[in-house]
Every structure is written in structure tokens, then in C-alpha cells.
Structure 1
Amino acid sequence: MKDTSNTATLSASSAEEKEKCTCFWKAAFFLISFFILPLVACPILGQAVQKKQLSEADYKEWGELITDQASPDRKWISFRMQYDGREETLYVRNVESLKTYLFPKVTRAEFTSDNNVLCMDKDKNLIIQNLKSGTKKIYSNVSSMNYSSPAHLLAILQSNSNFLQLINTNDSSVSTLPNVEKFVMSPDKKNIAFTAIHNNVNSVGLLNLMKPSPVEWIIENSPNSFDRLTWDDSSISIAFYGFTKPYCRNSILYFYNSLEGKCFELNPSGQSDFLRENYIDKDGRFPLRISQDAKKVFFSLSTVENRSSALTDVEIWNASDQFIYPLQKFKGNYIENKHLAVWIPEKKTFNSITSSSLPIGTLTGDDQYAIVCNPKDYEPQLDTDGPMDFYTIDLETNQKDKIVEKQSAIIYDLLASPSGKYISYFKDNAWWVYDIRKKTTANVTQKIGVPFSGKVYLNMSNNCFGAAGWSSDDSDFIIYDQYDLWKVKPDGSSFERLTHGREKEIKFRIAVENESDRYDFVYDRVKSKTIDLNQEIILKALGGDKKAGYFKWNKDVNEKAIVYEDLLSDKIYFLKNRDIYIYKEERFDLPPRFVLKEKNKKPKVVYQSNPHHFNFQWSKPKLIYYSNSRGQDLKGILYYPFNYDKNKKYPMIVNIYEYQSNRLHKFYNPTLFQSYGYNPPFLCSKDYFVLSPDIEQENGNIGGSALDCTLTAVKEILKLGIIDEKRIGLMGHSFGGYETNYIVTATDIFACAVSGASISDLSSFYLSIDKNFFKPNATRFQTDEQWRMGKSLFEDTALYLKNSPVHNAAAINTPLLLWTGKEDYHVPWYQSVELHMALRILKKPSKMLLYPNEGHTVEQENNQIDLSKRILEWFDYYLKCSDKI
């Protein structure tokens, strides 16, 4: 008989060990399944974790990441997440520790230099959050605030109090100044100018924030009220208006120089010429401004209007008028009766700078000359904005000199240099520089040999690529070609290419943290910024292959990449001397996020929006290449359906406009809240391919070129064998809607189409008025606008009829869904009605959606949902129902 005791013991032991082993692997599998696999694909198992299928109920979880500010030391950033139907919340996050403060109902923050952040919520509560200690103080009913970084003082006024409170952000101590009505902090943040009211008398005073000192009174105990306190850039002088009644038409102008302690007054009551025609207008269109040398005050004059004695309010439209009646009423009367004027207090002189004959005005960089022009110079004409003759006016002598004739009205095509020596302008495909004092002009690009104009704006043909600015003391003018930065001497004697983008088809542009950093707006036009070429410059880069990112440039090593990848980067904060960069990036399958890049360190994600996104199935985009019949190389985007199966063929929706390939890496939140019913993730989640091709417009053949580019793009995709050629739909909005209308008159390749807020009859559209801008729509048909007909309706009527879908409606066999807003004044809504009525009469399949109280796009949320769903239903019916295919 065998001894089995040990065997039994061993078997029991083995079973126990086996059970332990089984439990271990169960636990391990649990960990892998729930914690590891959702983050990475497992190469051992050979497959990724199954992701969720996106449903419309999930859409509400996606929010939009909106940038705000960065702290001076770039250790903190503020941003907000915007969700449909929810209250906004501001985030303030440390880029290193990721510590985060949340501020409900707040849209922007202001960082101080002493570890505080200031936020004002929608209920007028001021929040002072110390980012280091975590302490927080709240002040309610705050009507105005400003922060002095040199003095570490926060100045606030509360609506229920007339005490100006000065809060020390270091120790939280508070001092007050009574009877304050309004205050304005100086540009250097070291002084405050304020108005005070006590016992029905008014005063204006100055308060030094840097040291304890008594108020310096400019005016005391006056029966006049005071408003529009304005500092000069050097924080030495201040100008303001005085008036006897709140709605008094005529004002008194004051100027005070704090160094000299002198206050000057310009009172219309002592100036008879003011009383006859003009008055000092504190609410005029030219705000108060003090010149760079603090010797001139610029202000607004308005003309005394003559009351009409007419017995009727009939509108008189005269065909010979330079502006059509609506434009003259909206803009002409306004600019012609509101003038820019200059006062020189020391000399006791004043002059009107602009006039009814030259109503548009700006100033040179040093404020010593004015630049004036008249938008009616060559009206009536058929450009969107007619060319103008530009003049300089010497503000000391009042001498006027012509700079250039028939110059483009585009605001960035004529720029004053920062130091006041030159005026640059782009004309005849070249940059010119006018020397103000020498009164000479030089073509500064004629010897360079590359074009400085091309496709810049989506809705226009060729334009100037633009100017970056001027180097110190106006010594070099810095301009852009299609790819690179150039510096040229103002006399055109020499030039140098600063970057090397052309070789790699990378477009370089100077990056700014805020768009206001690109130009200085001075009244009606702009002046250039100063660029220090001896310091490092941050460049934004966009490649022909749609890679994007940022480079740093200096004169010794040229451009060097900070980040340059298959991503879209559109916001950057930086500390150049410390190589700290915080930028926002996104990709079609990667929601926007903030990334920190420091010298010799790997990039670090500071904030990832919509992290739940990675749990869902998503589409992928592909950049496609094709050529139209003219041999022009074009690009487009093909978005794949979610959970794409290579073994089956899919329906496809083609969305058209003009150039769309630059959106390759744009992330779209899935949503039904779309103002024109198009959302790639929404359509891709419904088992559609989506194609967005680039369209190269040909002058005089806008419909034909749209047809050509669209069909060649579709045929290129059909070669891939992934699309069912009988199940292709077409859609477009606005100009894309017109292109859709035209294309379905010329081909039956599309099983159905959707056209939003579109044009159908070029003849009637040509003779209509854009009620948004009060301009004739005829101006949109010249070569510089989107319609690019090149000829007027009366020069070639047949051309307009040929390109008008409504006149070719009999050829339409494609079921067409039209939609528009009944308050659309940009593209008249009855254009859609005309095409719908034509199709109705012809007994063609068509449906029209007309949304009351909506304009060129649909903005009411219930209407957005309705539009998105009806468009999908239209496509589903014609592209997925077997009896319709």
C-alpha cells in the first residue's frame, strides 16, 4: 500500500499555491485592465483598450479652452473653460507645481508683481488672491480698479462709497481718500489723477503713490464737472475736459504739466470762431491725447448741425453722390462732422487737423505731423474701399504735403514709423518709404527680386504680405514676403533676408503675446512697432505641410526651433532671457492644452483640456494632395469616420469654401451648437468621411473654378477605394453655399447637397446693398474681393448669368436643402428664396429652412440644434437609405 500522506500534503500545498498564483494574476489583470490599458496600448496583447462610442449625450462634457494672461515671471497662467449652457470659470494655475485656483463667474485676471492675482466677477466682486500664501480677500460693488506694481498698491472705488481705497498688497494695509468720483493711474503706475466732488463743487487732483505726500490740486472747488482724465506716455502731463452740465454740448479743455505746475485752459467762450461752427466735444470720435513731447493736446471738435426745415423725412438718393445714401448717413456724416484738432497750450494756438474735405486722420510716430485723407477721393467706384490721396500736415506750421496718390485704403498698407521719420506704404506690388522732412520717396523692394504680395486674406485675392515694424531709431524697415522677414534701409540702398523659410516652405512671422502688440492704433489708422534686432525675437512658424510652432531668432544663429510639429500652436508666453516658453497646442485628435518648455528640459503639459476625450473613439485627418485642371497643386483635408473599417466603403460629405487645409490640426469640440451646421466630429461619428478641399479661384470664373477644384479633389479620394461613389453629399455656407449652388447645376455626381445663406443670382446680388456695412454689393465683385468677376454687370452681363445658379436651375437634379436667416443682411435671404422657387416651379427636389430672427449665421441655441439635426437627416436620407442610392 502506497503512502499518500505526503502526496496529499503536497497536493494541498500545490493547490494553495496555485490559488495564490491565480489570485495574483487576477489582481494583475485587474490593474492592467483598469489602470494601465486605458493609458497605453499593450504591445503584448496586440490591441488597444476598446474606446467608447460617442453619442450626442456626451457632447456637453466638452468645453472650449480660452487663453487669458500669464504672470510677469511666467510661473502662473490664467485661462477659462467655456461649456455650453454653463457659467464660466477662470483657472489660475502654477506651471511648475500645477497648483490651481478656481474663480467662478470670472472671465479675466490681472497678475501683480508680488504674487497676487486680481479678478472681477460678473457681480462686481473684486477678488484679491495671494498665490503664495493662499489668502483671499473680496471687495464688493467695485466700480473701478487699477494696480500699481511699483508701489504695490491696489486702487479701488466702490459704487456705494466715494472713498478711494489704496490697498497695500504686501501687508493688506489700507489708506483712503474721500470724495473721489473717478481716477486714472499714470502709465508708469506711480501717480493717480482723480476728480473729487464735495458739497456740489468739483476738484481735480494728483496723488503720488510712491511716497506719503499731500494731494497736489490742479483745480479746486469749481462749479464745473470734469471728465476724460488722460495722461501722456511719460506720466508728466494730464489733459481733461470741463463742462457745466452732464450733457453740455460745449466743453472746456484743460492741460496740466506736473513738472512746471502750470494749468492751461482752452475755453470756447473766449474763442469766437468756435462758436460759429464747432464745439469741443468730450464725446467725439477722437479721444484726448497728449503728444510725445508733452507740448500738444489732440482733441475732438464737432460741427454744429444745421436743423433741416424740410417737412418730410423723405430720403433723397442721388446717383451722382459719392457715397450711396445709407453709407453717407451711417459713416459719411459722422466722419465729416467730427474733426481732430490740436491745441498748443504754451503758444495759445489751436487748429483743426481733419476737415470735411480730409476727414480721416492719424499722427506720425513722434506726433509732430498728421496724416490725413478722404475716403471719397475716387468715389463712386467699384472697389470695396476706394483708393485715397494721403497728405502730411506739419502741426507747427500747418503746411500740407501730398505723400501718395491713389493709395490702397487697407489700413496696414500705409504705416507711420515709430520715431516719426518715415511713412511706408505698399503700392504697385512694392514697398515705398516717404521721408517726411526731406519729402522724398524710395522704392525699397525693387532690387530684392521676390514678391511681397499674394494670398493673405481668405475672402480676398492678392494683398500685401505685411510689415513687421521698424528697428530702433527707424534705421531699418522690417517686412514680410510669403515666407521670410527682410530688413531694408529706408532709402532702399541695401537689404537683407533675416530668416530662411523659403527653402523649406515655412512661413515666419513675429509672434506677439497679444494682438495689440503688433501695431499702435492712433485714431483712424496705425503706426508700426519698434523691433530690436539686437535682441532675440520669437517667430511663429507655419509649414506647407501644415506643421506649426515657434522659433527663436537672433542675428548670430538665425532661426532655431522651440517647438515645430504636426500640431496647431496659436498662443505663446515667453521669457526670452530665461528660455521659458508656455504655448497652447492642439491637434484634430488632441484637445487644446498648455505646454511648458524650458531650456534643456522636456516639454511638460501644464493643462490638458477635455481629458475624457481620450476615452472615446475619434476621427483622424489626412492631408491630401491634388491638382486642378490648370495644373495648380492644391491640398485638402480628409477626415475619417470614427472606428473606420478598411474593409467597407463609406458615404462622404464634401464641405467647401475657399482654403481649408490650414485647419488640418484644428480641434473641434463635438457639438450641435454650430452657427452654420458643420462640425467634422459630429459628421464623422455618424459614419461619414468628410472632405474639405482647397479651392483656387479664377477671376471671371468663380463657379467654374469651384466646380473644377471640388471635382478633382473628389476624384482623387475615389482612387483610394474607400468611398461609395453613389453616396457623396455636398455642403457649403455663404460663399461656400454659392459654390454648392453652382456645382449642382453642372454635375450630378453628388447624391444631395446643403446650401446655407447663399447667393443664387449674381445679377440681383450685384445691385443690392449690404445692410451690415451700408455698402453696394457691386463693390464685392471686383478683382480684390471674393467674387472676383473683374468686370461690372453691364460690361459682361452674360458672364454674370453664366455664373448664376438660379438661371441654370433647370439643370439641377441634385436634391438641395437651402437654409438661411430671415434677418440676414450680409447675403440677402431672398436669394435662397429665389432658388427655392425656381426649383419648386421646375418640380425639382428641394427644401428650404428659413429661421426668423437669425442673420447670416444661426446663433440661437435651439435653432443651432435644429439646423444641425436637419442637415444630418438630409444627408442620412439621401446617402444611407438604400432606396435613394
Structure 2
Amino acid sequence: MKSKLSTKRLQNYATQILTNKATYAVALALLATNVDAQKKPLDMTVFDEWQSIGMKELSNNGAWVAYQVNAQESDNSLNFFGLKTDKSLNFHRGEGSVFTSDSKYAIFKIRPFYKDLKLVRIKKKKEHEIAKDSIGILNLATNKVEKLPNIKSFKTPKNGGSFLAYLLEKEEVKKDKKEVADSAKTKEKPSKTAGKDKKDQPLELVLRNLASGQKKSFKNVMNYEFSENGKQLIFSTKQAKKDSLDKTKYGVFLVNTATFAQKQLVDTIGEFKQFVFDDSATKVAFVGTSDDEKKENKTYHLYYTTTVNQQEIKKTELVGLKKDWQVSENRLPKFSKDGNALFLGLAPKLAEKDTTLIAEDHAKVDVWSYKDDFVQPQQLKNADREKKRTYLSVIDLSNPTKITQLADFDVNQVEMINEGNSLFALGTSDNAYRVSAQWDATRRRDYYIINTKTGQRENLVSGLVGKVEISPNGKFAVYYNGETALWSSYNLTTKETKVLNKKIKVKFYDEENDSPTVAQEYGIAYFTDNDNTVLIKDRYDIWEFDLAGDRKPENMTNGFGRKHKITFDINQLNEDVKTVNRDLPIFLGAFNNDNKQSGVFQTIISKSKNPEEITMSDTWGAQNMKKALNADEYIYTKESFQNSPDVYVTSNFKDEKKVSAINPQQKDYSWGKGELVNWKTYSGKDATGVVYKPENFDPTKKYPVIVYFYEKLSDNLNRYQAPAPTPSRINHTYFVSNDYIVFTPDISYTIGYPGKSAEDYINSGVEALKKNTWINGDKIAIQGQSWGGYQVAHLITVTNMYAAAWTGAPVVNMTSAYGGIRWGTGMSRQFQYEQTQSRIGKTLWEAPELYIENSPLFKMPNVQTPVVIMHNDEDGAVPWYQGIEMFMALRRLQKPVWMLNYNGDDHNLLKRANKNDIQQRQQQFFDHYLKDKPAPKWMTEGVPATMKGIDWGFDLDKSKDK
């Protein structure tokens, strides 16, 4: 029998529920606070073990996933997951997995323990003293693994079943104490190779058929290679010791992998490398020399045969080779796809040094000339590369001794078309624009269509600010002219040019370009099958253009992208797939520019209908996918600010399988969340940024703020930032976990006024943020690196609203930096100020007032903000005297300033110890000025040079006030 409640009792019950509900809400809030309180803030001890995803790969049949989990300062691991069996396998210290083409085996490296490798680096041991790699051979049917020690390298054929070849390291023979004593007594001289790296020593090569178990070894091998189809293995040998064996046993050998039968192709002592087969493995080519090993500049020759059944190959004496030119050992020859032509590199012979000269008797000098194509620092930086530069040439195998040179000094870059099957090649030259590149960042080029039979050149376009791409089947050249904003197609056969987008009003170049240079095009997404059409991107959508120009353009995404502010793209799912089918469904990567969501849509190109949404979420990564070669399985990673990247696999993007789960320790630490914010700048422009709040955010508290900026960062809303020591920026996650608010405003620029632009966006954003009751307006700091560092230096000269500032590698004097060198590349810095990031738009002598106005150095007396400068003596991007100029000015003015120079380190810190050091100093600096904690002694007392390497000044000075 059901009981009935009176109306009054119901009213009383309802009142009680409401009262209890309020109490319950309070209790829940307290419970949540208590749970959050149990989580720890991140500290520097967590960095080393924090993980990330390295390589990820699907087997060709889509049944297995391999992915690598990397730790920052610890051992990595390799993981396998069976998609049909849900079987997981983990191999400690595994790296670099390769599936065999038949998907039956996986081969991977097993690295020595990280701690041992680190110890070797610390003790600076030679290569032969370092612990050697092993390899693992995983049978995917039985899940059993075979481990082989001391492996120098291994290879598998791209398309050739279950074959494996590997080189065995030589084991070092350790002498016992008696042998050492006996050697000392007899004054035995050490070997000339003792203690030297043994990269060029011959080793034992092992060939295995993993399926049949067949195995064979070959002695004294130097270089080896499979044919792509796995039918042939070729290798070269070298004498281990002089006259140790008959010379007829040295040279180049070919092994038939079906029978393991071996034959000798070259019977000469020498160096042979750069082996290549044609697709059918019936032809083979390589380069070699029989010159004495000690000769500095050896003469290399081409060796090739059109039938691998030939017992012996002689070096080819090429007809048409220019005087003092030779075959280059620095370029891999390549057969055309149809096997009818062989492409190879030529190079001029290098001048020999006069070894009789005494160095002390001659000057060591760099001669700078205004007539040089490149300034001396750039020449010196690229000298080794230029010595190895090769010039593409071709042999028509119907006339196998005649060579046609396609590239030379005038047109030094030439690329094959349609994998060499085309009658043409594409040539590029920047010769006429090398001097102007000192100040002109447009990278102009002349382009040529070159006849591969005759070497004759036809000028396609001159002085192009853009890029030329050849359709995969070699029928058309497609190029964009940045100065006219027009895409064109050129028919290589009929020589007709058609403008593709002349009547389309939409922009195909960067709509938000705010630099005084030609805007960058959005680019080509893909070509369709048979070179019928080309797919070209605007800011949001993808357009289809008929390459012959006979059919009007179609917006293949039907304007859906622009209407919804979604940017679409087509990823290259597999490197072997060069075109897409117009009539079959394809996946589109998608990114929403408003809310920063990303995901995947599907469409059919020929339909030109609205794409169908498959998935969109507050994550990043699903749009960057790869496909199994022979199965409809897709692999990708997904991440968000709260969730570290993990590996996912799907066949349709509706049902996905998560196959990794890294960083389980994150649950123990306080994290945070990013939120998009919008405001109006002082000048009335719409502005966007991201505010990162602590996980246990309490709106009743007042939080200190660190503002970090560069240019535009809001697209990173859903990107994960692993806790890690900083290369000089701030680690958002780390500071948010330690109860800071981090704010990252986007910045757009007015040409000529980068400093004022930074003020307009950054300062207005901070003012808007300060309106929130949970912001402590007196405890806001700014931090930036490089271009961000410049903006920090500028802001503290025009406002005192910041409690502290940290600037990394800043330019503070554009007048002195303008004429400097970017030592990392050897290039002049002028282009950067006139046309790119600094955005002045004029030369120093055209607008000296703009260079001075935008140089913080001239306003240093205005600075009231305590500031740390990091600038290192091996900075390859911004000359470190810029940091010195800032420090010396503020020091003379007796402003609170510190400068960190990490000896021998670069623009962004590379050395782990330095990253750890700056991370600790950053936290101490911001904690002092934003949380009123005691300052460390490096701030209150400094670190005298006499104490360098003894005391780093990290101890807190509790005796002194701020």
C-alpha cells in the first residue's frame, strides 16, 4: 500500500530539501577544495620523467600500431598494440620501429640505458667506448621477440616481404693486466686506430629471411642496400687490414634474396656507396672510387648495369662530361620510374690544398667584397654544404654512355618531374637576386622547364615571388605570383598558360598579413587523379581548378569554411599517394578559428556540397592523420591543455580507439584550464587572447599574473604544454599549477610602429583583465623571448604598470642591429627590419626616426620596472651585444637589472642544465616580485666571477627586503 503525504508535510519536506541542497552544495564545494588541496603543485623534480609521444606507425595491413613514448631525461619505451587482438606489448628502451612490408614482423632498436649514455657524455668517451645498440625482432603472429646485441644499423626493404639485413658492431677486446704490463715492457706502440672513432671500419653484415629462417653472413662490409621490392641486396667491402686477404675478395657484391646466391659485381679495392635499384630490381647503379684512402679529394665514377645478371661492372666513362667535372659521391643516383633513364649528380672537382705551405707564414683572412653574391659570414656558414653541392644530370639508357647535364652554376637547382618519366625537369635559379636578398625577403626566383633529352632550357617565369609546383603526372606546372595574387597553370606540352583565379574575389593569400612584404599564399592542398585538377586553399575553403582552364572553378567545400570560420585542409595520408580521387569520399582536417576546436570532416570533391562533420572537439591533432597503406585505418594523436597527447586509431572517426595512456602521474598534480577572452584595444580593434587559470581556481582570491606574448598564440588554446624546464620562455602549465594566472594576448601590427602595436594590444588586454575581481592588479609581470623579448623591453619604457619583467634575447637598438649579422645563418639582418618581423618598412636612412622610436635603448631612463635579461654569447639569431647594450644602460641608470649569459648556448637554450637553471631563476624572480617571497642571493648580492661554478646564488636572502 502506497503512503500519501499531506500538502503541509510536502511543503515542509520541500523546504528541508532546499535547505539541505544549499548545505550539500557548500559541502560539495568544500570537498572539491579538499580534493584539489591534495593535489601538488608542479615542481622541477617532475620534469625528467614527463613523457611525450614520439614516432607512431601503422603496419601496412592496419592490424598493428607501434608508438614510442619519450621521457625528457630517462629511458624511452616502444609500445605495440594489436587492433584486432587488443594485445599490448612494451619494450623498455625500444626506439625507431619498422614494420616489414608484409606486416608479419617489427624490427626496432634497443638503446643502452639513458644513465649510461649520459655518463659517457660526461666523461667524453670515444664512440668505440660507448655501449652499443641492440635490435629486437618481434614476430607479430606469436608476439615473441628475439633480441640481438651490438648492432650498428639495420635495414628492411620497403616492399619486400620479411627480409632483414644488419651490421654487427665489433666487440672490443679487453686486455688483462698481464697483457698491459707485457706491452709496457716491450714498449709496444699503440695502433694508429686505437681510441679513434670507428665509423669507417668494415663490419660483418647479416642477411636474414625472417619467414624461412634462412641466414647468411658477409665479412668486411661498409655500405649495403636492399632493392625496394626486396629481391636484391647489394653491399661493398673493404680490407680490414692491409693485405690480410686477396684483393679479389673486395669490391661490390650482389645477393639474390630468394636463393641467397652471391656474385661479385666489382673486383676492385676502393670505396663504393649510394646504391640504388630500379623498381623491378633488374638494374643497379652506384658511385665509387679506387683512389688511395688518404687522398683528400677523390675522383668518383659511376657504376651501373641494366641487368643484375651481369657478372661484373666496370666504371662508366661518360661522354659529354665537362672538363674538371666528375660524378659526385654526395647524391644518390635514381632511375626513372619506367627504368629508361638514370639521374645522378655531377660536381666540379675541388681544388687541392698545397700541403707544403706553413700555416704560420700566411695570413688567415676573410675578404669581403661588394660584388660577392653572399656576404662572407653566409659563405663561411655554407661552405661545407657548397663543397658537397651536386648538379643534376641524366643518362638516357638507350645511349648509356652519354650524359646530359641539366643543372649548372646558372641554374643550380633542378628536380625530376613525374619520378623521372617526364621529358622535362624543373629548374630554379636565384642568381640574379642573391645580393638583393640582403634586404629583400621575397626570395625571388627564375624558373625554367628543361628538356631532359637535350638539356635545352625554356624560361617559365622570371623574378617570381612565389613557388612553382609540378603536377604528379608531369603534365602541368602550377604557380602563384605573390605580386599579382594570381594562380596560373602552364601546360608543359602545349606551352599554354592559363590564369586560374582571375575572376574570383576571394583572397588566396594571408588575409591577416601585417608585415611590409608580399603576403604568403595559403598553398596547394592536392592534385586530383590524372592531373585533371588542382585543389588550392583560401583562408577557409578549398577550390578546385581545371588545369587546362576549360571548366570554371568550383568551391569544393561550398563556402562552408568561410561561413563558419573553419579552415579546411587535406593531409597527405601516405607519402606514396600523390593524388586524390574526385569521386570518392575524402577526409578533411578542420580548425575552427573562432573557438579553436579541431577535427575532421568528410566530402566528395566532385559534389561541391557542404562537407559533413565527422568530429569536432576542444582538442588538437585529429586533423593530422596518417593511413595504413593497405587498410582503412587511420592513426593520429589528440591533445588538449589538460590532456597530454595520446595515440588514437579509427576506421571512420566516429568510433576511435585510444591505444596509449601516457603521464598517469598527472592526476597527482594541480593543472589548469585555458579560456578564450576578447576585448577592444585602445585604438578600437577587436582583440583575442587566452587566460590560463589554476585547476583549483577560486574567484574570491586575487591572483598574480604573468603575461606572455610573441605574435598570435590563441590558436594554441587546446595544445598541451608538458612540464619542462624552459629554453627561456615561460612554461604556462608550471606557473598555472603554482597558483599564477597566465595571459597570452594576440597582437596585430601597424607597419612602421611595432612598439606602439604591442602597447595597443598587450596593455589594453591587461587593463581589461584587471577588471576581474580575481586579478591582483599590482602583481602583474611580463615575459617574452626574442621578438617577445623586444616587446618586453619596449613596454617597460612606456609604462610602469608591471611589477616585474623578464626579457630573453631582445633587440633594443634597431639602429645597431640593422647592420648586423644573424650568426646562425650568416645572413644580413636588414631584411628583418625592412620587410619581416620588425615591420619598419623602410631602410635606416629613409626613416631613421622610426628606427629610433622603436628602439627601447633610447628610452631607458623611463624604466622603473625590475627586469632580468637573458642573452647568450653564442646567440645565432640576435647578436648578444643587444642584451649588453640594455644591461649597460640600465646599470648606469642604477635601475634594478640582472643579465644571464649562459656560456656557449644559443638564442633559445639548448643545454638541459641551463634550462633547469633559468627555470629556477624565473620562479624565484616572479615569486619575489609577485608573491612577496624572499629574493635569492643572485638577485641581492650577485654571483662574483671568483664564485662561478661554486655558488649559483639560489639561496634565499631572508635578511633583505624587496
TM value normalised by structure 1: 0.86
How many angstroms apart in 1 are the aligned matches of 2:529 and 2:494?
20
CA deviation map 1:363-422 (0-9, x unaligned)? 2225332322332312322123641221222121222111111113x6xx2212211122
Structure with higher RCO (Cα < 8 A, 6+ apart):
2
CA deviation map 1:176-211 (0-9, x unaligned)? 5677654321122333333457732245454443x4
How many angstroms apart in 2 are the aligned matches of 1:196 and 1:863?
45
Structure 1 equivalent of residue 274 of structure 2:
228
CA deviation map 1:780-803 (0-9, x unaligned)? 1233x2122111111111110000
Q: Percent identity?
A: 25
Q: Is the 8 A contact 2:169 2:204 kept in 1?
A: no
Are 1:832 and 2:883 counterparts?
yes
* Partner secondary structure for residue 852 of structure 2: helix
Structure 1 equivalent of residue 854 of structure 2:
803
Q: Is the 8 A contact 1:536 1:576 kept in 2?
A: no
Structure 1 equivalent of residue 741 of structure 2:
689
CA deviation map 1:528-577 (0-9, x unaligned)? x3233334323221111100122333345763334310111255344599
Structure 2 equivalent of residue 279 of structure 1:
326
How many angstroms apart in 1 are the aligned matches of 2:77 and 2:267?
45
How many angstroms apart in 2 are the aligned matches of 1:114 and 1:329?
47
Q: Give the C-alpha shift of residue 170 in structure 1.
A: 3.2
Structure 2 equivalent of residue 200 of structure 1:
247
How many angstroms apart in 1 are the aligned matches of 2:617 and 2:681?
29
Are 1:438 and 2:494 counterparts?
yes
From 450, 456, 460, give the equivalent of 1:403: 460
Are 1:532 and 2:562 counterparts?
no
Q: Is the 8 A contact 2:321 2:403 kept in 1?
A: no
* Partner secondary structure for residue 823 of structure 1: coil
| Compared CA separation, residues 631 and 579, structure 1 to 2 (3 A) | farther
Q: Give the C-alpha shift of residue 216 in structure 1.
A: 6.1
Structure 1 equivalent of residue 209 of structure 2:
168
| Compared CA separation, residues 796 and 71, structure 1 to 2 (3 A) | same
* Partner secondary structure for residue 579 of structure 2: coil
Structure 2 equivalent of residue 84 of structure 1:
72
Are 1:118 and 2:107 counterparts?
yes
Are 1:302 and 2:343 counterparts?
no
Structure 2 equivalent of residue 615 of structure 1:
668
Are 1:293 and 2:338 counterparts?
yes
How many angstroms apart in 2 are the aligned matches of 1:334 and 1:868?
36
Q: Give the C-alpha shift of residue 833 in structure 1.
A: 0.7
Q: Which amino acid aligns with 2:828?
A: P
Q: Is the 8 A contact 2:542 2:569 kept in 1?
A: yes
Q: Which moved more, 1:465-474 or 1:94-103?
A: 94-103
Q: Give the C-alpha shift of residue 84 in structure 1.
A: 3.1
Are 1:778 and 2:819 counterparts?
no
Q: Is the 8 A contact 1:733 1:756 kept in 2?
A: yes
The aligned length equals 823
* Partner secondary structure for residue 772 of structure 1: coil
How many angstroms apart in 1 are the aligned matches of 2:495 and 2:289?
42
Q: Is the 8 A contact 1:772 1:826 kept in 2?
A: yes
Are 1:716 and 2:762 counterparts?
no
From 232, 251, 255, give the equivalent of 2:304: 255
Q: Is the 8 A contact 2:223 2:272 kept in 1?
A: no
Structure 2 equivalent of residue 791 of structure 1:
842
Are 1:141 and 2:182 counterparts?
no
How many angstroms apart in 2 are the aligned matches of 1:43 and 1:730?
33
Q: Which moved more, 1:794-803 or 1:818-827?
A: 818-827
Q: Is the 8 A contact 1:591 1:613 kept in 2?
A: no
Are 1:878 and 2:932 counterparts?
no
Q: Which amino acid aligns with 2:581?
A: D
Q: Is the 8 A contact 1:125 1:141 kept in 2?
A: yes
Q: Which amino acid aligns with 1:302?
A: A
Are 1:350 and 2:390 counterparts?
no
How many angstroms apart in 2 are the aligned matches of 1:395 and 1:602?
50
From 53, 62, 67, give the equivalent of 2:40: 53
| Unaligned 5+ runs, structure 1 | 1-40, 519-528
* Partner secondary structure for residue 587 of structure 1: coil
Are 1:547 and 2:597 counterparts?
yes
Q: Is the 8 A contact 1:60 1:84 kept in 2?
A: yes
CA deviation map 1:416-447 (0-9, x unaligned)? 22111222211122212222232232211112
CA deviation map 1:614-671 (0-9, x unaligned)? 2332211111122334544332110113422111221111001011001111122223
Structure 2 equivalent of residue 33 of structure 1:
none
How many angstroms apart in 2 are the aligned matches of 1:620 and 1:680?
10
How many angstroms apart in 2 are the aligned matches of 1:737 and 1:561?
41
Alignment of structure 1 residues 626-641 onto 2, 5 Å: 626-641=679-694
Q: Is the 8 A contact 1:456 1:465 kept in 2?
A: no
Are 1:183 and 2:232 counterparts?
no
Q: Is the 8 A contact 2:42 2:734 kept in 1?
A: no
Q: Give the C-alpha shift of residue 838 in structure 1.
A: 1.0
Q: Is the 8 A contact 1:588 1:664 kept in 2?
A: yes
| Compared CA separation, residues 358 and 602, structure 1 to 2 (3 A) | closer
Q: Give the C-alpha shift of residue 120 in structure 1.
A: 1.7
Are 1:105 and 2:156 counterparts?
no
Are 1:486 and 2:543 counterparts?
yes
Q: Which has the higher strand share?
A: 1
How many angstroms apart in 2 are the aligned matches of 1:650 and 1:83?
32
Q: Which amino acid aligns with 2:544?
A: K
* Partner secondary structure for residue 465 of structure 1: coil
Q: Is the 8 A contact 2:58 2:628 kept in 1?
A: no
How many angstroms apart in 2 are the aligned matches of 1:257 and 1:456?
55
How many angstroms apart in 2 are the aligned matches of 1:200 and 1:92?
46
CA deviation map 1:303-334 (0-9, x unaligned)? 23456999533222122333212223444796
Q: Give the C-alpha shift of residue 867 in structure 1.
A: 0.9
Q: Give the C-alpha shift of residue 753 in structure 1.
A: 0.8
How many angstroms apart in 1 are the aligned matches of 2:794 and 2:596?
30
Q: Is the 8 A contact 1:255 1:345 kept in 2?
A: no
Structure 2 equivalent of residue 526 of structure 1:
none
Structure 1 equivalent of residue 13 of structure 2:
none
Are 1:63 and 2:51 counterparts?
yes
Q: Which amino acid aligns with 1:444?
A: L
CA deviation map 1:835-877 (0-9, x unaligned)? 1111122222211112112110122222212211212222222
Are 1:753 and 2:805 counterparts?
yes
Q: Is the 8 A contact 2:63 2:82 kept in 1?
A: yes
How many angstroms apart in 1 are the aligned matches of 2:923 and 2:204?
59
| Compared CA separation, residues 576 and 153, structure 1 to 2 (3 A) | closer
Q: Is the 8 A contact 2:319 2:403 kept in 1?
A: no
* Partner secondary structure for residue 855 of structure 1: coil
Q: Give the C-alpha shift of residue 241 in structure 1.
A: 1.6
* Partner secondary structure for residue 454 of structure 1: coil
Q: Which amino acid aligns with 2:307?
A: S
| Unaligned 5+ runs, structure 2 | 1-26, 112-131, 171-201, 239-244, 355-360, 935-960
* Partner secondary structure for residue 432 of structure 2: coil
Are 1:764 and 2:774 counterparts?
no
Are 1:152 and 2:152 counterparts?
no
Q: Which amino acid aligns with 2:476?
A: Y
Q: Is the 8 A contact 1:339 1:355 kept in 2?
A: yes
From 411, 423, 427, give the equivalent of 1:372: 427
Aligned CA RMSD, in angstroms, stands at 3.2
Structure 1 equivalent of residue 81 of structure 2:
93
CA deviation map 1:455-485 (0-9, x unaligned)? 6999997311111232222111121111122
How many angstroms apart in 2 are the aligned matches of 1:376 and 1:272?
25
| Compared CA separation, residues 232 and 535, structure 1 to 2 (3 A) | farther
Q: Which amino acid aligns with 1:454?
A: D
Q: Is the 8 A contact 2:53 2:69 kept in 1?
A: yes
Q: Which amino acid aligns with 2:327?
A: I
CA deviation map 1:81-136 (0-9, x unaligned)? 22232122222233465432222333211123343221122333221112332322
Structure 2 equivalent of residue 655 of structure 1:
708
Are 1:498 and 2:556 counterparts?
yes
Q: Which amino acid aligns with 1:371?
A: L
